Amino acid sequence: MIQYFIYMMLVTFILADNEVCFEIEPNPNQSQPGFAYFTKYVNVLDCFDIYAPSNISDEKVLHAAAIAAELLDNDEDGEVDDLLLKQELSNRGALMPLFISENSQVANSFFNNYDGEGASAVLFNNEIDPSQPGHWGDDASVEEIIHTINHVGHVNIYPEIFNIEPNSSVMSDAMDIARGGQFLVMPNQYPEEAWYHYDDFTCDYECMAIEYFYWCEVSYMGILDDLQTCNDIDNEWELCTPELFESTDTIMHGLLSDIQYKLPQNAPDGNYCPTQIVQGDLNSDGIINILDVIQTVNIILGQSEQTDLADINGDMLINILDIVILVDLILS
């Protein structure tokens, strides 16, 4: 029992920044067309807004805000990574509306009255699961927010690279290769060599390109990399691991890894609190050193002498596997 307790204490200390440092505010734009029934509002990094009605939980609202922040500020230093992207999203009023259902009063009011250019996707209550950020089939927050950031932002600021019309960009050419040809409408059957075979007849070429952009990003970040997800999405997208994506879709991998476009490199985990000092970081330098962890263990156990432990992997930095080994060593 004490081993489990200490393990959980250490995880709490080391992962203490697992929270969302945003505040939900009252909707400041209720008089705007389509916004009358939203009661909850979060401004994300001065360029992306989250709107929700009262029947969406605060946890889900903050989850959406955290995902947006992590995608925009992937190094989590408190600033949007790409200033051009920030300006474009701000100018166009980028936002993510959250609804209980497609036929709710809030959704109907928004769909019938909104006249802006910042909403490219929406999120429904049953699509949001803060415990599984971005996991395909459980939490659509990463997908829908990426769609909005890409469509409202990247397509406009880097048109020669990410334009979604046929023959318009590096990405559109890459998608034609991924689909085994340039299909302006969905074919009855994709060529055998295709690895992207979207099967929604209502999705035109531009829609296909936005979906393609999403699949490439989440493959690159490793969000799809588990056997169940690979099997579930195989009918639409085959490159579910970062390694397979890198070796197969070389054009898009080159774009996503090109630092000039400042696209997210790390998968969002639903936690965003860039100003917080991590507990266990005893010298406040932002890095958890193995000696910090040892000192924390000593405090927990009430020991006056330094516990004689070495870094498990020899680099003086601690990871989650080291914690488990450390606890076993301490209590053995």
Tokens of 126: 């049953």
What was the pLDDT predicted at 323?
A: 52
Same-domain pairing of 215 and 314: no
Give 221's Cβ-side CA count (13 Å radius).
Answer: 23
Check if the beta carbon of residue 147 is closer than 8 Å to that of residue 120: yes
Return the closest-CA partner of residue 148 out of 123, 184, 185: 123
Give 10-residue mean pLDDT values along the chain (332 residues): 44 49 96 96 98 97 97 97 98 98 96 96 97 90 98 98 98 98 90 93 94 98 94 95 98 98 96 68 45 52 49 48 54 54
* Whether 173 and 322 share a structural domain: no
Residue 76 region, left (φ>0) first, then alpha (ψ -120 to 50), else beta?
A: left
pLDDT of 298 reads 56
CB atoms within 10 A of CB 168: 17
Judge if 129 and 238 occupy the same domain: yes
How distant is the alpha carbon of residue 93 from its chain centre? 20
pLDDT digits (tens, 9 = 90+) for 120-138: 999 999 999 999 988 888 9
| Overall residue count recorded for the chain in this entry | 332
Q: Is 13 exposed, middle or buried (0-12, 13-18, 19+ CB in 10 A)?
A: buried
Same domain, 124 and 240: yes
Domain check: are 110 and 228 in the same one?
Answer: yes
**Token reading at 306:** 């330094």
Instruction: Report d(CA 311, CA 168) in Å as an integer.
Output: 52
pLDDT digit string, tens, across residues 38-97: 999 999 999 999 999 999 999 999 999 999 999 999 999 999 999 999 999 999 999 999
Measured CA to CA in angstroms, residue 127 lies from 63, 130, 133 at distances of: 12, 10, 11
Q: Which residues contact 254 (CB under 8 A, 6 or more apart)?
A: none
Same domain for 233 and 322, yes or no, is no
- Predicted confidence at residue 329, as pLDDT, reads 56
| Same domain as 159, residue 76 | yes
Q: Which of 209, 229, 261 is the last residue of a domain?
A: 261
Q: How many domains does the chain have?
A: 2
Residues spanned by the domain of 161 = 25-261
Angle between helices 290-301 and 2-14 (to 10 degrees): 140
